[in-house]
């Protein structure tokens, strides 16, 4: 195990993202990195009991030990479930169009 690991902690909002780069002691966990980043103080809406976290797009637990150059990501909950939206659209009989063109034939 190395003495230190360099990691980044990311939190994306609709129009911007905060990325905090940190140097932590070896054996640091995802939870410790998030705490050290200060993002919870900057964004009080972050609730680690509700929000999921990952490392490079793969969901992990808060006690996961980090490696050098890892990127910790804090995921906001989805506003709408994409599968549910497609299901409702299908029930309403709305055709999904490709390419944004007019779905009706022209003469």
The pLDDT profile of the chain, 107 residues, written as one tens digit per residue, is 559 999 999 999 889 999 999 999 999 999 999 999 999 999 999 999 999 999 999 999 999 999 999 999 999 887 777 787 788 888 777 555 555 555 555 55
Burial class from Cβ neighbours inside 10 Å (0-12, 13-18, 19+) for residue 14 reads: exposed
The torsion of the CA quartet 27, 31, 32, 33, rounded to 10 degrees, works out to 90
Domain assignment of residue 51, yes or no = yes
Domain count of the fold of the chain:
1
CATH number, residue 9: 3.10.20.30
Residues of the domain holding 47: 4-82
């Amino acid at each position: 195990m190395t003495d230190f690991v360099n990691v980044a902690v990311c939190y994306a909002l609709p129009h911007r993202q905060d990325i905090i780069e940190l140097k932590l002691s070896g054996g640091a966990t995802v939870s410790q990195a998030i705490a050290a980043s200060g993002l919870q103080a900057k964004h009080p809406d972050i609730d680690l009991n509700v929000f999921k976290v990952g490392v490079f797009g793969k969901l992990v637990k808060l006690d996961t030990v980090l490696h050098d150059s890892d990127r910790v990501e804090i995921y906001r909950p989805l506003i709408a479930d994409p599968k549910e939206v497609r299901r409702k659209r299908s029930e309403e009989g709305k055709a999904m169009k490709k390419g944004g063109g007019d779905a009706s034939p022209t003469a």
